[in-house]
Structure 1
Amino acid sequence: MEPTEDSNNYKYGVFYYNKDDSRIIVPKRIKYMGWTVNFAHPLSYLIMGGILAVVIVAWIVAPQK
């Protein structure tokens, strides 16, 4: 069984958290729904912070109507 399919590797049923899995980006439980990050990997927080920073900067820079 793929580690991402094991419900014991999810916190609150949503966040994939597996210290034994060295991958940063992993497929979701339902493969056609995309990818997620392994929150047990420290680099995943930098990725999520980077995405959040891009969204905030885009929101600030976007012209107001």
Structure 2
Amino acid sequence: MNEQFNREELNRMRNDPDNYKWGFFYYNPNDHRIFVPRRKGIGLSLNWANPYAYLIIFGIMLFAVLMGRF
């Protein structure tokens, strides 16, 4: 996970369809980034192979539940 990639290699990994589950979820354990640019359109996607992605989603859900109680 400490491997460093140049920009071209990161773009190649991002555009590789084999790194997407169901064509939608980016999952690449070789990519150290949590957020990656989307293949199409504007915005970012989560790298679901990175454990911090699950912490981010859990934090968002916890925040929504807590805000719904008040």
Q: Tell me, yes or no, whether TM beats 0.5.
A: yes
- Secondary structure of the structure 2 residue equivalent to 1:52: helix
Aligned length in residues:
60
Structure 2 Cα separation of the partners of residues 43 and 21 of structure 1: 13
Runs of 4+ aligned structure 1 residues displaced above 4 Å come to none
The structure having more radius of gyration, on CA atoms, is: 1
RMSD value over aligned CA atoms? 1.4
Structure 1 unmatched ranges of 5 or more: none
Structure 2 Cα separation of the partners of residues 5 and 43 of structure 1: 22
The residue that corresponds to 2:25 in the other structure is: 15
Q: Percent identity?
A: 40
Partner of residue 25 from structure 1, selected from 20, 35, 39: 35
In the superposition, the TM-score normalised over structure 2's length comes to 0.75
What does 1:29-40 correspond to in 2, within 5 Å?
29-32=39-42, 34-40=43-49
Structure 2 unmatched ranges of 5 or more: 1-7
In the superposition, the TM-score normalised over structure 1's length comes to 0.80
The residue that corresponds to 1:54 in the other structure is: 63
